[in-house]
Structure 1
Amino acid sequence: MSEIFGDVRLEIRDGIGVLTLLGTEGVWPWGTCRQEHRWNPEMVSNIGHALDIVEAHAEVMVMTNEGKYWSNGMDLRYLDSCSGKASQQLQKDTNELMARICCFPLPTVAAFRGHWCAAGAMMGLAFDYRVMSSDVGFFFIPGVDLGLIYAPMQTALMKAKLPQSLHRDVILFNSRRWTAKDLLAAGAIDAAEPLQAVLHKALQLATALRSKGQGPPRKALQGLKQGLYHEVLEALSAGAMSFPGRVSGVEKAAPKL
């Protein structure tokens, strides 16, 4: 099975649902480069549709990317171009997508073949397992440099998924661009592989996870996740991001090493 939803390709391979964020050229009408895989209404909706099919027809889910970015975060150009109501809706939908992946009823693996930054980093943290390229790509979450305060749900997700030793340097101070080597040593990812081997490693891991709770017992997995990550789910209704110091048009901030 193979289907395309906008910039998202879905394939079902031996029980594994593989979502690939495509390296589509060009820009969205509001000026964002499509290859950055930022969270805007189109991307969030298309991934949601693909997840519906994965949930119905697969046993494990893997999400990977083409091009330089797994995801460069929230689509700030879209937020600048739309009304306050539309901005709030996108943030709500994006946070709900993160929470859905965090508590997905199947095992999930993120395969990073490029940068995963800001809200893209948060989305990556929502997965059960993470495999990152050892020779390309960085991880960082630059709220302090963009002048924004994370939504309560986003903070809860980062606290739940990042080792406590990284809370200060990642969540508060955006102190560095983290490589796969750094994140593996800190326990924030599960494997670091050369670029060409990332997806292969992720599929190996997904294959090993197919048998975990297979059949009727698999119905317990989502409940187990909901219990473990209940603070993430409870924070969903606590509000969106706020922007007390953000200058309109800022796209990204490069952390100082």
Structure 2
Amino acid sequence: MTVHFGPMIESHLREGVMHITLRHRKASALDLELCDALREEFELAAEREDVRALILTGTGSIFSAGVDLPRLIDSGGDYVPRFVEALDAMLRALFLFPKPAVAALNGHAIAGGAIMAFASDYRLMSGGRIGVPEALVGVPFPPLALEIVRFAVARQYIQSLIYLGWTVEPDRALALGLIDEVVPGEQLLPRALEIARQVAEIAPDAFRLTKRQLREPFLRHAAHIASTTTDTIDALWAAPQTHARIRAYLAKTIGKK
């Protein structure tokens, strides 16, 4: 077993399965540094021959609350485009992770937290809510993030999930196909490990190619959309009116003004 403890994440290797645990402040909200740290962990695990699969989980009652919105609106300079680029790189590293990736959702998986789950190969959930309320917040989806949602969410539900900002509990998430299993909290990691080992039994080269084939059309579409919308998306994320909407959303949801 190898163990790495950092200020934002904890990772350890157990019998060929890399466990990565988000533990960034109270809600593991995604900021520039956490995205960079996760990308590095995903890339390292992808390269290591002794890693056969990956489990991604969180701590307490929250998997990840999504983008650190207060940090986003309080940071000046070039933080917004740097963050959007780091978020894209992290999601790409997870979406293209060439080995089985299991998301063990210990609690709320909101916005970017849900998208990380959707980028994985198998999703288990023990509590909390999952959804992508970006439209309610007033920020646009980066192209790859939206394609990951399209990849994972059934066509008949995707527009309601996005436009109405649904966040749903585990049983409803299972019915909508957002997750694969609902499990009690004490069984979450053991069951995730069981699934990771089971999928890791597939011949690695066959798994890698099949996973790439399933995801390649969404990557191509994301690249096409990005070629014409990246500047607009960056401008919207940084716009004063967007930050005003974020402040209003935060005031409504968590009382921050």
Task: Give the unaligned 5+ runs of structure 2.
Answer: none
Aligned partner (choices 52, 55, 66) of residue 59 of structure 1: 52
Structure 1 residue 4: Cα displacement:
1.5
CA RMSD of aligned residues (A): 2.2
- TM-score under structure 1 length normalisation: 0.84
Structure 1 residue 167: Cα displacement:
0.9
Deviates more, 1:242-251 or 1:65-74: 242-251
> Hey, what does 2:69 align to over in structure 1?
76
CA contact (8 A) 1:213 1:221 kept: no
Aligned partner of 2:6: which letter?
A: F
Deviates more, 1:36-45 or 1:152-161: 152-161
> Hey, what does 1:27 align to over in structure 2?
none
> Hey, what does 2:16 align to over in structure 1?
15
Q: Cα 1:13–1:189, aligned 2, differ >3 Å: closer, same or farther?
A: same
> Hey, what does 1:145 align to over in structure 2?
136
> Hey, what does 2:91 align to over in structure 1?
98
> Hey, what does 2:158 align to over in structure 1?
167
Aligned partner of 1:68: which letter?
A: S
> Between Structure 1 and Structure 2, which shows a larger proportion of helix residues?
2
Aligned partner (choices 193, 209, 221) of residue 220 of structure 1: 209
CA contact (8 A) 1:38 1:74 kept: yes
User: CA-to-partner distance for each residue in 1:62-119, whole Å, 9 max, x for gaps?
Assistant: 1011112111011111111222521111111102211221111111110000100012
> Hey, what does 1:183 align to over in structure 2?
173
User: CA-to-partner distance for each residue in 1:37-86, whole Å, 9 max, x for gaps?
Assistant: 11112211221222233223301111011112111011111111222521
Alpha-carbon distance in structure 1 between the residues aligned to 2:207 and 2:65: 33
Percent identical? 20
Report how many aligned residue pairs link the two structures.
240
Alpha-carbon distance in structure 2 between the residues aligned to 1:119 and 1:252: 20
Secondary structure of the corresponding residue to residue 73 of structure 1: coil
> Hey, what does 2:26 align to over in structure 1?
35
Task: Give the unaligned 5+ runs of structure 1.
Answer: 25-33
Alpha-carbon distance in structure 1 between the residues aligned to 2:210 and 2:125: 25
- Bigger RCO of structures 1 and 2 (CA < 8 A, at least 6 apart): 1
Alpha-carbon distance in structure 2 between the residues aligned to 1:168 and 1:151: 16
- TM-score under structure 2 length normalisation: 0.84
Structure 1 residue 121: Cα displacement:
1.2
CA contact (8 A) 2:111 2:134 kept: yes
Secondary structure of the corresponding residue to residue 131 of structure 1: strand
Q: Cα 1:236–1:212, aligned 2, differ >3 Å: closer, same or farther?
A: farther
Alpha-carbon distance in structure 2 between the residues aligned to 1:210 and 1:36: 30
Structure 1 residue 220: Cα displacement:
2.7
CA contact (8 A) 1:18 1:63 kept: yes
Aligned partner of 2:56: which letter?
A: M
> Hey, what does 1:208 align to over in structure 2?
198
